[in-house]
Amino acid sequence: MEAEAGETDWTTLPGRLVVLSGASGAGKSTLVHRLLDRAGPRVRRSISATTRAPREGEVPGLDYDFVGPEEFEALRDDLLESAEVHGAWYGTPAGPVREALARGICVVLVIDVQGGFQVRRKVPNALLIFVQAPSLAALETRLRERGTDDDATIARRLANARREIEAAEGYDVQLVNDDLETCVDALVATLAGHLCGDGIDHD
């Protein structure tokens, strides 16, 4: 039988787990896309499981694994972290992460700060990176210009942003995503500094 999340000695696996958090609209998805463009096959993004319905344009298995409540319950024993957000459950199945780390692959989780701290408890050598927007005003502008949320959702995201930002000091590294190219370079450099032989094209 495969080991469960609580039984794995994650620190002995050759790959490194990287957590990327930050307020909604700070640019986490944008940065990870750019990172994966530059990284070789040694860096991979983990896909969360969720009980919420897919939104327009979301691709099952690429954006999320969309599962029913019963399937999510069955996953529970082997989740690295989980959270309930607005009535839907989200979680990171540990199995695929464990397998990738065992193969020396760096796995990036894009999750909120609660999830980040859950991961830290299970995987003490995980690298926790917090992405900051230059200001709350910039955050709001980005959310409005992204055009994916109505006013109420944007207001909720901004209220949550304050809570996320307060938790940032518990993270290992803070990156300010002001100029995108500069921040992508800083993210690549951060990973290169913490992961040896990272397989990333630094040019």
Ligand X SMILES: Nc1ncnc2c1ncn2[C@@H]1O[C@H](COP(=O)(O)OP(=O)(O)OP(=O)(O)O)[C@@H](O)[C@H]1O
Helix 180-194 with 28-38: angle, nearest 10 deg: 60
CB of 193 to ligand X, least distance (A): 21
CB of 176 to ligand X, least distance (A): 9
Residue 75, helix vs strand vs coil: helix
Cβ nearer to ligand X, comparing 5 with 165: 165
Q: Contacts with ligand X in 29-68 (CB under 6 A)?
A: 29-30
Distance, in Å, from the CA atom of 80 to the CA atom of 122, rounded to the nearest integer, reads 7
25 binds ligand X (CB under 6 A): yes
CB of 161 closer than 8 Å to CB of 23: yes
Residue among 100, 177, 191, 198 that touches ligand X (CB under 6 A):
177
E strands of 59-203, at which residues? 64-66, 79-85, 88-93, 106-110, 127-132, 173-176
CB of 13 to ligand X, least distance (A): 27
Q: Which amino acid would we find at residue 78?
A: D
Residue among 28, 34, 98, 120 that touches ligand X (CB under 6 A):
28
List of residues contacting ligand X (CB under 6 A): 22, 24-30, 142, 145-146, 177, 180, 183
